[in-house]
Amino acid sequence: MKHTILKSTIAAAALAASTGLAWADKDTDTLNVAFTKELENVDSYFNSSREGVVMQRAVWDGLIYRDPETNEYKGNLATSWEWVDDTTLELKLREGVTFHNGEVFNADDVVFTVNFVADEANGVKTQRNVNWMKSAEKVDDYTVRIHLKDKFPAAIEFLSGPVSMYPNEYYAKVGSSGMGLNPVGTGPYKVVSVVPGQHFVLEKNENYHDSPKGQPTIAKVDIRTIPDVNTQIAELFSGSLDLIWQVPADQAEKLDQMGQFTVANESTMRVGYLTMDAAGRSTMNPNPYTDVRVRQAINYAIDRNAIVSALLKGKSQVVNTPCFPSQFGCVQDVTTYEYNPEKAKALLAEAGYADGFTTEFYAYRNRDYAEAIASYLNAVGIKTDFKMLQYSALRELNMKGEVPLSFLTWGSYSINDASAMVSQFFKHGSLDDSRDDQVLADLNVADSSTDPDTRIAHYSKALKRIADEAYWAPLFSYNTNYVFKPSVSYTPTPDEVLRFTTMTWN
Amino acid sequence: MTHTANDPLLEEITGPTPGQLLRKRVFGHQGLLIGVIVVAILTLIAILAPLLAPHDPYAQDLMARMKPPVFLGGTWEHPLGTDHLGRDYLSRLIYGARVSLLIGVVAATISGLIGTAMGVAAGYFGGRVDAVVTFLINVRLAMPVVLVALAVVAILGGSLTVVICVLGLLLWDRFAVVMRASTLQVRQREYVAAAQAIGASTPRILLTEIMPNIANNLIVVVTLEMAHAILLEAALSFLGLGVQPPTPSWGLMVSEGKNMMLFEPWLVLIPGAVLFVLVLAINLMGDGLRDVTAPENRS
């Protein structure tokens, strides 16, 4: 009853607002999209948000491209590549490619880009994306060699992801801030307007080379920053937006029930987890987390299946490892902890915390998930002093080792290799809460070996030890909901990258 | 018999007593009655929360999320439905009354003590004391309450105690201003001069001559500031900087329901409406008390 009223009200409102507008966007060949967050800088090396990745894939190209469906590596700005030795990669470049400003793409651009980003002094935001490269060297106009600092088996994956090629002459002239205001790349879309805080306008690149990304069909993409999801949905109803994404599960479900929009759900590589101060770095005294039984109790205390089916929904799944199951090396035959609050209480009692304990509990996103987790912990006697912080603030605290228990997530920058997650957090870096030497030794071998079997064997050992010791409580993988008008045709990919190139009008 | 009854002087003497007059004023004032009754009911609910709440306000049931309230097709199991984590909305609302009233009363008391002490001292002593107090009031008025509260809570972290202290230490300005002005008026009166003439001590004058005669103003400010503190707590909690989950707070409930506002508006409307009713009732009560106790209405 209520839904019928609601539906008809919304439908009437939408109809009233959109008569004459309804198909206007298709008529003008402009796709209106909303971003939730503002980009710090459009220059893809100087922002770390998901929206930045979307822009990067639309405006720039990498040397290699991974087909999101088959996971096969295809040449993009390079046509072929081979390993000269363990730390030298030689690439043949595609000829006849020009940047949006007319500059010709050749070896000089690759050499410039690699040397620029690999130099730590230039301050690329996410060093892990680029710090495995030492330098690049021009062999001839369309052949380059990239020298690695050390053996790095995931190099191809990184070259097909975050490492995009910049025009050397233009970038040398305008620098990062100029690139941010007036981005120039080789990608399927060129940026025609950047109005910080308002919108970005992209236009189809008519001269796009024969790329595995495919040819763009929609002429114009207008991306506006609208932080509030309710406003986004209202604009979708009124017709001034064609596509919204990252729509929370509950709203997506309701929109789906209305039947007027296409709701597509796709899993992402983002994994949510609890990290515990197993190494005893925080000031908590006594520190319960140094006891493996307490960490196991926390693993047993949380009903992950209920959280996934009730809160995350869609293609989310329970995760048992500190990596996403599709990632190379992310073996799944590790110790798993089912939901068993009785066992959790018993383990706590065994560890000397029969009456539970009080702990600070930090989180930076999804307050509802964090609250649900806290409630499960409360139920076995662990009282939580809940603190919600901004990501940067929490990360800083975590680096200082001042966080006893926190709910965090990691998206691996959509890199399909376990090193992008497990090696990020278990190699005694400042974010490593466990500091286990055995895990470190195995990860060192796995990360630098070029033999796939050796890598898998050592990731497997590391992941099993992490699970046995319950250093983390891995929780679940995320999903993203894409909601768009029936006039738009789009099939999302599991890597949480919005690809304008594969969107068409119906 | 008839002679005495017609004696105007006697009639005045046997007329209604001050107590009867007061009762007449109280019961003749609708706003006051409504306000007092509503505040009394909500206070009782807050005190008796463990007896009244049908469920544990912290018990989550992820399989029963966002069940609609009875009047929108829900069941009596959860008369006001459940929230986004499947917790009983009525129970959370009842426990939320505790948080709101506690913050309102304690914050208004703290700021009332600070503000009244400053205001009365400034008004009665004048001179340098007045200059200092006026300066402090100006300083305080130059700082936007919400901004300062946000900054302090962001640094110290949100919790019930922090919110109460921050609001208590910030909301004394109106007390000080009003008490100072009232005291200035009252201290000119003859009875103050008379008390001074018979050699009454300063504390005695302040407590027995000044305070009773400015109490009606104080009551109005107390109620205003109570309502103000309750609203500010709701605002801070709404912004995620006030009371921290899982503590039930009406502001937090509005904030948590906000995401589903388009589809399940009752999630926001119910706590919002209760908040509105409480603040309105406190203000009605304050206005009523002023009308009833104001010296000019006594005769």
CB A277 within 8 A of CB A405: yes
Q: What is the CATH classification number for the domain harbouring A407? A: 3.10.105.10
**Both A259 and A342 in a single domain?**
no
Looking at beta carbons, which residues of chain B come within 8 Å of A387?
157, 244
Q: Output the pLDDT for position A1.
A: 43
**Both A283 and A422 in a single domain?**
yes
Q: Chain A: nearest CA to B153, how far in angstroms?
A: 12
Q: Chain B: nearest CA to A301, how far in angstroms?
A: 14
Determine whether A430 is exposed, middle or buried from the number of CB atoms within 10 Å of its CB (0-12, 13-18, 19+).
exposed
**Both A373 and A283 in a single domain?**
yes
B272 occurs within a structural domain: yes
CB A45 within 8 A of CB A114: no
A383 occurs within a structural domain: yes
Cβ–Cβ contact A6 with B under 8 A: yes
Phi-psi category of residue A203: left, alpha or beta, with phi > 0 → left and psi -120 to 50 → alpha: beta
pLDDT for A182-201, tens place per residue?
999 999 999 999 988 888 99
A493 occurs within a structural domain: no
**Both A341 and A365 in a single domain?**
yes
The average pLDDT across B70-76 equals 86
Domain housing A44: 2-57+177-266+500-505
A443 occurs within a structural domain: yes
Looking at beta carbons, which residues of chain A come within 8 Å of B68?
2
**Both A224 and A181 in a single domain?**
yes
CB B239 within 8 A of CB B201: no
Percent of chain B with pLDDT over 70: 94
Looking at beta carbons, which residues of chain A come within 8 Å of B256?
367-368
Taking each helix axis from N to C terminus, what angle separates A452-469 and A437-448, rounded to the nearest 10 degrees? 160
A334 occurs within a structural domain: yes
Which of the 8 DSSP states describes residue A200?
Answer: E
**Both A131 and A31 in a single domain?**
no
Q: Chain B: nearest CA to A18, how far in angstroms?
A: 18
**Both A427 and A292 in a single domain?**
yes
B275 occurs within a structural domain: yes
A250 to B66: CB separation less than 8 angstroms, yes or no:
yes
B246 to A374: CB separation less than 8 angstroms, yes or no:
yes
Largest CA distance in chain A: 71
Cβ–Cβ contact B83 with A under 8 A: no
The average pLDDT across B64-87 equals 88
Cβ–Cβ contact B244 with A under 8 A: yes
Phi-psi category of residue A197: left, alpha or beta, with phi > 0 → left and psi -120 to 50 → alpha: left
Phi-psi category of residue A29: left, alpha or beta, with phi > 0 → left and psi -120 to 50 → alpha: left
B45 occurs within a structural domain: no
The residue type at A495: D
Domain boundary residue, one of A170, A191, A215: A170
Which of the 8 DSSP states describes residue A164?
Answer: B
Looking at beta carbons, which residues of chain A come within 8 Å of B62?
303, 306-307, 309-311, 372
Cβ–Cβ contact A417 with B under 8 A: no
Looking at beta carbons, which residues of chain B come within 8 Å of A254?
262-263
pLDDT for A140-181, tens place per residue?
999 999 999 988 888 898 999 889 999 999 999 998 889 988
Q: How far apart are CA B25 and CA A223, in angstroms?
A: 64
A positions 292-351 inside 8 Å of B (CB): 303, 306-307, 309-311
Looking at beta carbons, which residues of chain A come within 8 Å of B86?
310
Looking at beta carbons, which residues of chain B come within 8 Å of A303?
62
Q: What is the CATH classification number for the domain harbouring B186? A: 1.10.3720.10
A384 occurs within a structural domain: yes
**Both A24 and A163 in a single domain?**
no
Q: Output the pLDDT for position B259.
A: 83
- Stated pTM of the model: 0.79
A1 to B73: CB separation less than 8 angstroms, yes or no:
yes
Which of the 8 DSSP states describes residue B259?
Answer: G
User: Which among B63, B68, B157 is the nearest to A2, CB-wise?
Assistant: B68
Higher model confidence: residue B194 or residue A4? B194
Determine whether A326 is exposed, middle or buried from the number of CB atoms within 10 Å of its CB (0-12, 13-18, 19+).
middle
A positions 229-258 inside 8 Å of B (CB): 229-230, 233-234, 248, 250-251, 254
Nearest to A468, CA basis, from A436, A444, A445:
A436
Alpha-carbon dihedral sign for residues A189, A191, A192, A198: positive
Q: What is the CATH classification number for the domain harbouring A141? A: 3.90.76.10
| Domain total in chain A | 3
User: Which among B58, B66, B245 is the nearest to A386, CB-wise?
Assistant: B245
Nearest residue in B to A231, CA atom: B262
Task: For A43-62, give one letter per residue: b (16+ CB within 10 A) or e.
Answer: bbbbbbbbbbbbbbbbbbbb
The average pLDDT across B101-105 equals 92
A338 occurs within a structural domain: yes
Q: Chain B: nearest CA to A419, how far in angstroms?
A: 34
Cβ–Cβ contact B55 with A under 8 A: no
A positions 376-405 inside 8 Å of B (CB): 378, 385-388
B244 to A248: CB separation less than 8 angstroms, yes or no:
no
| Chain position carrying tokens 């987390």 | A289
**Both A262 and A273 in a single domain?**
no
A318 occurs within a structural domain: yes
Cβ–Cβ contact A5 with B under 8 A: no
Looking at beta carbons, which residues of chain A come within 8 Å of B263?
6, 250-251, 254
Q: Collapsing DSSP states into helix, strand and coil, what is residue A158?
A: helix
Nearest to A296, CA basis, from A318, A274, A311, A270:
A274
Nearest residue in A to B160, CA atom: A385
B69 occurs within a structural domain: no
Domain housing B252: 96-299
| Domain total in chain B | 1
Substitution target in A386, A392, A402, A481 with the highest count of B β-carbons within 10 Å is: A386
Looking at beta carbons, which residues of chain A come within 8 Å of B73?
1-2
User: Which among A248, A303, A386 is the nearest to B244, CB-wise?
Assistant: A386
ipTM of model over 0.85: no
**Both A32 and A81 in a single domain?**
no
Name residue A373's beta-bridge partners: none
Alpha-carbon A291 to chain mean position: 32
Kind and range of the H or E run holding B41: helix B30-47
Low pLDDT (below 50) residues in chain A: 1-2, 12-24
Q: Report the half-sphere exposure of A70 (CA within 13 A, side-chain side).
A: 6
Looking at beta carbons, which residues of chain A come within 8 Å of B58?
375, 378
User: Which among A1, A375, A386 is the nearest to B85, CB-wise?
Assistant: A375
B263 to A6: CB separation less than 8 angstroms, yes or no:
yes
Looking at beta carbons, which residues of chain A come within 8 Å of B157?
387
Q: Output the pLDDT for position A15.
A: 46
User: Which among A1, A251, A378 is the nearest to B260, CB-wise?
Assistant: A251
**Both A471 and A423 in a single domain?**
yes
Q: Output the pLDDT for position A5.
A: 52
Q: Collapsing DSSP states into helix, strand and coil, what is residue A311?
A: helix
B246 to A233: CB separation less than 8 angstroms, yes or no:
no
**Both A187 and A257 in a single domain?**
yes
Looking at beta carbons, which residues of chain B come within 8 Å of A378?
58, 246
* DSSP notation for B49-80: HHHH-SS-TT---GGGTTPPPGGGT--TTSTT
A165 occurs within a structural domain: yes
Nearest to A433, CA basis, from A464, A411, A408:
A408
